[in-house]
Structure 1
Amino acid sequence: MNTNGRTTSPGRRTLLRGAALGAAAPMLASTAAADTGSAARRTRDAGTVTYRWLGTSGWRIDIQRAKRDEARRQPGTATVLVDPYVTRFDTGLFGGSFDPATRLRTDKPLVRRHAGTPEVICVTHTHWDHLNDVPFLAKATGARVIGTETTYHVLRSFGVDAAQLVVVKGGEVLDFDGYVVEVAGSRHSRNAAYSYFAPGTLNAPPATAPRTVADLPEGDTLAFKVTPDGAPSALFMGASDFDERSFRGLAPDIAMLAVASAATTHRYVPRLLDALERPGVIVPVHWDDFERPLAEPPRKVGTDLDDFVTQVRDLSPASRLVVPDYETRYGADVRSRR
């Protein structure tokens, strides 16, 4: 239970179902996926929460509250975003000619179409493929943004009101109307040279708002666990490394796990699955070419996704594995333990 006595999870036996918005839901069930035929199990109502993958590690979560709030544009519905990078411009990263001086830009109508009107935006770290569209969304919608001190200072430089910004470090459990957001300390991915692009943190707003992708440092990395009332909990990672001690005890029902592009982190998948107690549903993220528009099908980058899928199937055969697609709304079904 959370600190206010709510039940944070109705059970670990969870199915993620896809309701297509324009494409079939690509599901890869493990060989021991949850049995749906037993009448002896109690089935809770589906439809209290839906998930939409925005590519990279981005997600839109729409939560139907138990009580309707007629003052809202969408009565009773809360939208939570994680790393909503929708504009997806070309930096040359996947063509072998990466240009760190690529200018930041936001396709405002496209972002609003995919992101809706968020109540809360969770930012795992401050690199452009996670933060780029957040300044516009925060100012356009008044959404509360949860992130690191670096995220705070960057958004202040873009003119986002300080009253909208929540600085966290990991360990916080934040209670909202109809859902709880738990913050976990995490780590950024490592490349084959044991390094990564644009490390560093900010302890004051930059003199001018960032203009290029190189102007956005990582600023430490977080993970977020979102638990809607009466629905499964879901963990969202933004990079393919983690703080093993911070992750232990999270035990999410659904886990959106970043796929590693290098083998520099020791036993990444086995340690991650062990720390999270082998979630009922595992969804790989951050494996797609995030410089292609969301209107096109996701393009797999390299063979890292295949290796991840193989390891998950071998190490956690009882988990349901869902490889997500763009333009698909996923709903969660929950079945209690035997």
Structure 2
Amino acid sequence: MENERTAVKSDSPTTIGRRSVLAAAAATPLVGLAPSAWAGSRAHPQPGFARFEWLGTAGWRVRTPTTTLLVDPYLSRFDVGLAAGRFEKEAPLTLDEAAVDAVLGTAGSAAGAVDAVLVSHTHWDHFADVPHIAATRDSTVFTTLSGYHLAQSMGLPAGQVAVVKGGEQLRIGDVVVRVVRSLHSRSGGGGLLFPGTRVHVPEPPTTIADLPEGDTLGFVIRSPEGRGVLILGASDYDDQALSGLEVETVMVPVPSSDVTAGYAERLMSALARPRTVVLVHWDNFETPLSNPPRADSVTRERMDSLIADLRRHSPRTRVLTPQYLTPLDLL
């Protein structure tokens, strides 16, 4: 979980997947996809191959003509006291099935289909809804060893959970996903919220503290011709793991502290100054999805500072702050 609280307007290969497994810038506006972007030869994909929709927090829905991926989908967005300054570490886990269906579409419908869910780490604001989503939509979950055990404790069969560590390159439908070793951010005192891993199936979790970080991953989503979007789920990273990824876009969580030294500078250098940065994990995720996303003044200041740092170290990179469920043409 990131303690980022929210909202400034920026100016600025093995074939894998649940179904296949069972079978065997400154002032830059957000760009939507035109219907024509989905036409044309699959042998010669055009820009607009994949539609990215921000689900709030660090969550994404990625849809191509044949495949739907979710990354860190957290849609129940229940109150744990963060916005009120009274964080409740023992806040009970709450599943809002209606909120999940309202965003994803009902299970069993064409609109609600999900091929795979990618999980960066197992804090509640990234993982709490995942077992329910995967169970109701017959999806494979790609996650850490902690996620593998936690998902089973929350009722998801082991056959629907695949453990990844970083370095894997997976084909899921018509998308290639590279798993990237990553790191979670730290608090102002240098500590990690809910540290630890789950090395066996625990008792079913009942509070947010029962979902530890459990190691952290990032994911590169690639089009058939190799364009790449890197999705980070937490505001730290491993420079060496990012070096040479050759991505055009990176989803960057806004840090809640200055403990991670040189955050923007090292990130831009490791990724060879990507074309686009999309800021995430800045919204108030204790409120329902509603545009414009909400943010408090402290997070606004942190976002302004991060945008300034990104521009200083990568002047040609455009910086976007997305709206919920608004299609972005990034791949």
Q: TM-score, normalised by structure 1?
A: 0.81
Q: CA, structure 1 residues 16+223, in 2 after alignment: closer, same or farther (shift >3 Å)?
A: farther
The root-mean-square deviation of aligned C-alpha atoms, in Å, is 1.9
After the TM superposition, which residues 136-175 of structure 1 pair with which residues of structure 2 at under 5 Å, given as runs?
A: 136-175=132-171
Distance in 2 separating the partners of 1:163 and 1:16: 42
2:328 aligned with 1:323: no
Change (3 A) 1:16 1:230: farther
Residue aligning to 1:18: 31
Distance 1:49 1:16 in 2: 18
- 2:305 is matched with 307
Matched AA of 2:156: V
Distance in 2 of aligned mates of 1:174 and 1:298: 33
Pairs within 5 Å for 1:46-195: 46-64=47-65, 77-115=66-104, 116-195=112-191
CA positional deviation for 1:18: 2.5
Deviations 1:123-174 (A, max 9, x none): 0000000001101101101111001000000001112111111101111111
Identity percentage of aligned residues:
40
Greater strand content: 1
Amino acid at match of 2:90: A
> Shift in Å at residue 45 of structure 1?
2.8
Distance 1:100 1:89 in 2: 13
The answer to whether the 8 Å contact 2:186/2:193 transfers is no
Structure 2 regions of 5+ residues with no counterpart?
A: 1-12, 15-27, 34-43, 105-111
CA distance in 2, matches of 1:318, 1:296: 28
CA–CA distance in structure 1, aligned partners of residues 221 and 47 of structure 2: 17
- Number of paired residues? 286
Deviation at 1:296, TM superposition (A): 4.5
Letter matched to residue 139 of structure 1: A
What is the TM-score of this pair, normalised by structure 2? 0.82
Separation of aligned partners in 2, 1:189 and 1:57: 13
Given that 1:284 and 1:322 are in contact with CA atoms closer than 8 Å, whether structure 2 keeps it comes out as: yes
Secondary structure of the residue that 2:67 maps to in structure 1?
strand
Say which SS state the counterpart of residue 151 (structure 2) adopts.
helix
- Partner Cα distance (1:79, 1:16) in 2: 25
Instruction: Give the gaps of 5 or more residues in structure 1.
Output: 5-14, 21-42, 65-76, 334-338
SS, match of residue 229 in structure 1: coil
State the alpha-carbon separation in 2 of the partners of residues 91 and 320 from structure 1: 34
Contact kept in structure 2, 1:63 and 1:228, CA below 8 Å = no
Q: What corresponds to 1:33 in structure 2?
A: none
Moved over 4 A (4+): none
CA distance in 2, matches of 1:282, 1:113: 28
* Amino acid across the alignment from 2:94: R
> Which structure dedicates a bigger proportion of its chain to helix?
2
CA contact (8 A) 2:232 2:253 kept: yes
Structure 2 match to 1:291: 286
